[in-house]
Amino acid sequence: MNSDSIHSQPSDGRVADATTGNWVDRLAPEFSRPYLRLSRADRPIGTWLLLIPCWWAIFVAAMADPDGLGLWDAWLFLGCGIGAFLMRGAGCTWNDLTDQDFDAKVARTRSRPLPSGQVSPKQAFAWMCIQSLIAFCILLTFPAAAIWLGVLSLGLVAIYPFAKRFTWWPQIFLGLAFNWGAFLAYAAHDGTLGWPAPALYLAGIAWTLFYDTVYAHQDKEDDALIGVKSTARLFAEKTKAWLLGFQILATAMLTLAVFLTGTTPLSMGIALIGVAGFFLHLSWQLRTLDMDNPDNCLMLFRANRDPGLIAMLGFFLAALV
């Protein structure tokens, strides 16, 4: 494995699976780097994967709304972006607090700030609270229904880190938490929930099962040694068949969400082109996947921003129409 392998251990505080040349390692003040690494700011893909279902929901809600897109949606677009960055950071900090003993035993994660001693648990907890409070201030600008949905999501966030201890399907718990923004952002568009929202939520959960199973294949050997459960270990050599099923389910639910908007045939057609692009990108990932190559798994996991944005672009153009 080459010198950029995810299993190499940096000696300057960098995290082993961080994006090469990321802005945290290059530009952030030195005192802030451990905290930004706790928030995974040096690994931005998680923010994208949390944010994209929110953006899906904004534009699908606009498709279903006779008034379409407005200036309020521009704030939702930006507010969800900032909120996703903060809440992903808070969630990752919580995850690292609960998993610091496990992380110290896994090659890919032992360089993280808590197991490597860059920050203390008390410092990490304070940082989690700061991020959550700023995100809550943004949430307060949204309608009441969205605020309550945001508060409810905290239960899912709190449970997720423990799921791998009691179920072979922790990826489902991640999907439940990571895609809650589909409900929140849909409600934030005009204060109510429509039928496309649960379809988007189910699509996001199936997509999460796809990409996070790929991600979990990086650690399957270490996970087996320390007793951590995952769909990667559960599916084993049948992983690709399961991934195909998740791909089909995610695409079907996105398609259903488009039809449930009740918009014009032209608008639906544009949106479905984006859904087709989503499906084709996941097909490429499935063909490219090497489950026994951690670098390949990480590369494909990071690639999942693109199919999400392809679908989002289709929804955006359809909302404009």
Domain spans of the chain?
27-320
CA distances in angstroms from 3 to 10, 121, 150, 294, listed in the order given: 10, 31, 42, 14
Per-residue pLDDT at 6? 44
Listed as ranges, residues in the chain with pLDDT below 70 are 1-12
For the chain, state the CA radius of gyration: 19
Residues 297/96, Cβ–Cβ less than 8 Å: no
Please count the other Cβ atoms lying within 10 Å of the Cβ belonging to residue 277: 17
Per-residue pLDDT at 12? 67
In the block, tokens 């063909």 appear at 287
Please count the other Cβ atoms lying within 10 Å of the Cβ belonging to residue 255: 19
Residue 266 φ/ψ, nearest 5 degrees: -65, -45
Q: How far apart are CA 7 and CA 2, in angstroms?
A: 10
What 3-state class would DSSP assign to 67? Answer: coil
Per-residue pLDDT at 7? 45
Per-residue pLDDT at 4? 38
Q: How far apart are CA 223 and CA 244, in angstroms?
A: 24
Per-residue pLDDT at 1? 34
Hey, CA dihedral for 22, 23, 24, 27, is it positive or negative?
positive
Tell the CATH topology of 27-320: Tetracycline Repressor; domain 2 (1.10.357)
Amino acid at 313: L
Which of 255, 166, 145 shows the shortest CA–CA distance to 206? Answer: 255
Q: How far apart are CA 80 and CA 50, in angstroms?
A: 10
